Every structure is written in structure tokens, then in C-alpha cells.
Amino acid sequence: MSYKIGIIGAMEIEVESLKKEMTVSKTLTKANMVFNEGKIGNTDVVVVKSGVCKVNAALCVQILVDDFNVTHVINTGAAGSLDAKIDIGDFVVSTDVVYHDVDATLFGYKKGEIPQTGLREFPADKWMIENIKKAAAGANITGKLWDGRVCSGDQFISDSAVKDEIKKEFDGLCCEMEGAGIAQACLLNKIPFVILRAISDKADGSDIMDYQDFEDKAAADSAALTERFIKGL
């Protein structure tokens, strides 16, 4: 099978090293996003900075589908840990993704469930998960790789009480701001996806003075593992 992988990062730090590694054959600017089409190794890719938040991320997926006919989507970047066992520098690969900020419980829906759709969890692609695990096993990464639920919302979580509430409700491993938008857009377009995140913080406000340094390293580490995954295809 031939692949064409859409690689989305919310911020430039999350995609800049990938763009340096690729041979670019075409660029397209649309919806204030620059799409870089070409190859990483022998695999066709489109690398793009979506901007932060779920709407940007979902719109980015739709352009990847409509204008580039991607076969798979991977979201790379940083995230906050929701689980005490997951440390800064570790990685999370999504088994599924949920919205932690969707709430129509007043009308009888589960927390996180999108009204009138029956959708609450968005399962990631098992083949992509397994190949990321293989890439991690062959890489010289210092952090551990965990697989589990990613929780998304248009909030930067930095309060331990909010973090605990999200963990209790959804039993997720990490929280970020784009994954569920990407997951829903991929599901609607029948495109396999996976979310890969390196942990930059504990989502509780601790070490906030060092957050930028942690974030930059996490973004670079996630991009490096994404690159290894692509080159292994």
C-alpha cells in the first residue's frame, strides 16, 4: 500500500524539524496555514502548522483530505500529563480521544458526548499505534511510551482541581487542545489517525516557570519520533 501521511502540529516548534527533514515538492497556503507537500524518506507526506485549538485542527484535516488526498493523519506535539505515573519527557500515543469540554449532560448525554451523534470516544488507528510503538522501541528515547486516552479541550489546564476532574471523568493520560478536533474530522472523512504527544508539564501549574523549556523539548521529541515512524513505513 502507498501512504500519504498528513502531519499536523499546532505550533511551528512542533513541525519545524520535520520540514527540515523533508524534500518539499509543493506548498499551498489556505486558511492561513502553509501546507508543505513532499517526502520524508520514501514516504509521501504533507506537513502543516494548524495553529492552536480544535477548530483550527479540524479545518486543517479537511484541507488535507480535500486538497491533498491524504491516507492517514498524525498529530504531533506537546501535552500535559493527567496521570501521576506519566512524567515530563514521556510520550503518549492515543488509543482514543475525547472532548473534555463538551457538556450536554442537562439533556441526558454523557459528559463529552456530542449531541445527536452518539459519539463520545474517537478510536485511533491500531496499525498506526503499533508502528509508533515499533519506532519508539528502535529509537534512543529517554522517556517511556504510554498508550491510552487523550483528552482535548480549548483550555490550557494548569489547575490541579480541574486536572483531577478531567482524570476522574475520562480516565485519560494527557490533555491538549487539538486532538479531538482532528479525530472527529478524520472519523467523518473515514481517515485513520493517531495522536502522538510528548509530555511537557503536569497540567497543575507546577514548574510553570520552566514550562517553555519543557514544551520546546517535548515538541522536538515528539517530532523526532514522528519522523522515525514515517521513515519506518
Domain containing 29 equals 4-231
User: Per residue in 114-163, pLDDT tens?
Assistant: 999 999 999 999 999 999 999 998 877 788 999 999 999 999 888 889 99
Percent over 70 (pLDDT), the chain: 96
Domain count, the chain: 1
Query: What is d(CA 129, CA 134) in angstroms, rounded to the nearest whole number?
Result: 9
Tell me the CATH number at 141: 3.40.50.1580
- The per-type count for the chain, helices as H runs and strands as E runs, is 6, 10
Q: Classify residue 110 by its DSSP letter.
A: P
Please report how many Cα atoms fall inside a 13 Å half-sphere around the Cα of residue 87, on the Cβ side: 4
User: Per residue in 71-85, pLDDT tens?
Assistant: 999 999 999 999 999
Q: Which residues are catalytic?
A: 14, 201
The 10 Å CB-count burial string (b at 16+, else e) for 173-200 is: bbbbbbbbbbbbbbbeeebbbbbbbbbb
Angle at 56 between CA 107 and CA 185, to 5 degrees: 60
pLDDT of residue 201: 84
Averaged confidence pLDDT in the chain: 93
Is the whole-model pTM more than 0.85?
yes
pLDDT of residue 212: 66
